[in-house]
Amino acid sequence: MVSKSSESRPSEHGWPVWLNTAKTVVAAVLLALGVRTALAEPFHVPSGSMEPTLLIGDYLFASKFAYGYSRYSLPFGFASFSGRILDNPPARGDIVIFKLPRDPRETYVKRVIGLPGDHVQVAGGVLIINDQPVAVRRIADFVDDTTGGTRIPQFIETLPGGLEHHILHEMRLGDLDNTPVFQVPPGHYFMMGDNRSNSLDSRVPATEGGVGFVPEDNLIGRADLRYFSVDLDTDWTDPAAWPRALRLDRLGLIG
């Protein structure tokens, strides 16, 4: 007598075991894609342009439902799909993950500073929105541990509408601190990094290798939650340093 193999033996529901396994795998994949499509998608921070709010080694979830959906917020992309479904515009001050307009293969994270129709300028290092200077107040320096403890001037900026957030700003009075007046086109946004002296953002036009204005279609989602953070400068050859590499105090909602 020859017994049936496990691959062909019926399960308790009458299906072969391999088919039940395949159904489970397919269901898990579809569930993961559904969550990634409709709810949130993970990203990591590779640069210091959003310091001190986001540090290199922070891992984020972007809430896709916050702004609705475009071909850039759906997995694998949909070349024939344009516009947004369930569109909900971002608010000034939101931290947004988006596709770089001049090269959609690249993903950036910045803060929304200018809304459609706004006039935005930086003059003498002062951010001006719709002819009104944005209020800032000096606080304790930010200490950059990745550069041996370099101290960087830190401020709290209050955007129109009252949102407060931290920025870093070393007054250099170069091109980033003295810009022309930008008028944000309809359906576009003006993005800036919180590290004002070290951020390639909408202050630099796309034609000059910068970000320029960001079309609403390029928005992927709002950075809402930091679920993991690790100091990437850790000496990974020393196991004793591994626990110190975890920045557990940074986990939680992003302000």
Give catalytic residue positions: 49, 110
Distance CA 39, CA 2 (A): 50
Question: CA 251, CA 38: separation in Å to the nearest integer?
Answer: 23
Contact 114, 122 (CB under 8 A): no
State how far the Cα of 238 lies from the Cα of 173, in Å rounded to an integer: 42
Nearest one of 149, 150, 197, 148 to 170, comparing CA atoms: 197
- Reduced to 3 states (helix: H, G, I; strand: E, B; else coil), residue 99 is strand
Peptide bond into 52 cis (omega under 30): yes
**Can you tell me which residue has the tokens 């992927």?**
220
